[in-house]
Amino acid sequence: MVMCLVRFLFVAGLSVLCAAQAWAQRYDAEQGRFDYVLHCSGCHAPDGSGVSSGGIPPVKDQIGYFLTLPEGRAFLMQVSGLLGAGLTDERAAGVTNWMIEQFAGPSMPKDFLPISAEEARRYRLAKPADIVGTRDAIAARLIEAGYPIK
Ligand code: HEC
């Protein structure tokens, strides 16, 4: 009986922990959509397909591959278009999470955890000086790993 109770409390405790974690990783999707339309869609197009003639890579069906590398996850938060929009850490993470969930399609990792505001702050502070070179290096690594990056 006591063992049962202990086990019950343990399982109940775990459920609370999991629920708290899921809650912490939720973000405001409506705000994300709003910020995307206002600050990003002019370059990235409403459906995330980009403008290949204008050097804007598609995020559609491809953004999720970046999440397979820690430096790729950070890179998504370091691009000039996002930094230039002047959003708070929370909204910067939110608009990126919204893009990922909206556009990643088949590139979406099964274990995707939304980017937190704390990560956004950390990654943005660590922005590399040469973001184009950084993208080239990450894209080369992803292509080597077999991901079709455009
Ligand atoms: C003035 C055009 C422009 C705007 C506005 C813009 N971007 Fe970008 N974005 C680019 C270009 C160009 C790249 C390619 C990498 C680079 O040069 O930074 C890019 C790359 C990205 C990438 C990585 C995709 C890849 O394959 O390299 C993400 C994620 C991204 N932008 C998010 C955003 C978000 C979020 C916003 C809005 C807050 C935004 N961008 C606004 C031009 C823009």
* 134 within ligand 1 shell (Cβ under 6 A): no
Q: How far apart are CA 18 and CA 14, in angstroms?
A: 6
Alpha-carbon span 30 to 95, nearest angstrom: 9
Place of tokens 């929370």: 90
- 6-20, 38-52, 103-117: range with lowest mean pLDDT: 6-20
Taken in order 128, 54, 46, 107, is the CA torsion positive or negative? negative
How remote is the CA of residue 105 from the centroid of ligand 1, in Å? 18
13 pocket-lining for ligand 1 (C-beta < 6 Å): no
The span from the CA of 32 to the CA of 48, in Å, is 14
**Cβ–ligand 1 contact at 97 (below 6 Å):** no
Residue 17 has pLDDT above 60, yes or no: no
Mean pLDDT of all residues in 129-147: 97
B/e letters for 65-102, b = 16+ CB within 10 Å, e = fewer, are bbbeeeebbbbbbbbeebeeeebebbbbbbbbbbbbbb
Q: Which residue bears the tokens 């088949």?
A: 106
Q: Is 79 in the pocket of ligand 1 (CB under 6 A)?
A: yes
Q: Could you tell me the distance, in angstroms and rounded to a whole number, from the CA of residue 113 to the centre of ligand 1?
A: 21
Tell me how far apart the alpha carbons of residues 21 and 43 are, in angstroms, rounded to a whole number.
34
pLDDT tens digits, one per residue of 44-93: 999 999 999 999 999 999 999 999 999 999 999 999 999 999 999 999 99
Does any ligand 1 atom lie closer than 6 A to the CB of residue 91? no
